[in-house]
Structure 1
Amino acid sequence: MQDILEYILKNITTVPDDVKIAVEDLEGTTNYIVTVNPTDVGRIIGKEGKVIKAIRTIMRVIAIQRGVHVRVSIVSENTPLATETTTEETVTPVKEEGLTVEV
């Protein structure tokens, strides 16, 4: 899965050599921590987060096929607050009038 993520990211970024992916396995979830050049963070996130959502959807589909859980986080290289600039997507079930909707 890391190879697929790396392939996608290197083809989106303007500085593909700066794409680095760290992998952490925590409590049954594989965390992919992506580091990119600061100039590429906007390209990876996309307008209104559409690009990163699409990347996460692709990774989620692959994860479901393999029966695993994944999380993709983006940090910017050479940023002193890199750990604070992480973007993550979480799915929280919301219950309304007997219906469960994922937001």
Structure 2
Amino acid sequence: MKELVESIAKALVDFPEEVHVTEEENGHSLLLRLEVHPDDMGKVIGRNGKIAKAIRSVVYAAGTNRQKRVQLDIGRDSK
């Protein structure tokens, strides 16, 4: 699941080397945290959040196939 989010995000941003995804699994739930360069936040979120919503939909569908409840948190890289 982590690789899926990384590949989608790297295709969208100008600084793919600064895309970081962390995974926290807790029973039947999975939290994915996506961090990108501050200049790339708009590209990952999109106008009115449409791209972020689309990424979450894909991740949610992939999690359903694995019988996991998936949550995607999008933030900026703290570096």
Where do 4+ consecutive residues of structure 1 move more than 3 Å?
none
1:58-69 equivalent positions in 2, closer than 5 A: 58-69=58-69
Give structure 1 stretches of 5+ with no counterpart. 80-103
- TM-score norm. by structure 1 comes to 0.72
Which structure's residues are more often helix, by fraction? 2
2:72 corresponding residue in structure 1 = 72
Letter paired with 1:22:
T
Q: CA deviation at 1:27?
A: 4.6
Shifted more, 54-63 versus 23-32: the winner is: 23-32
SS class of match (1:50)? helix
Aligned-residue CA RMSD (Å): 1.3
2:6 corresponding residue in structure 1 = 6
| Number of residue pairs matched by the alignment | 79
- TM-score norm. by structure 2 comes to 0.92
1:48 and 2:28 matched: no
Report which of the two structures shows the higher radius of gyration computed on alpha carbons: 1
Identical aligned residues as a percent: 28
1:36 and 2:5 matched: no
1:17 corresponding residue in structure 2 = 17
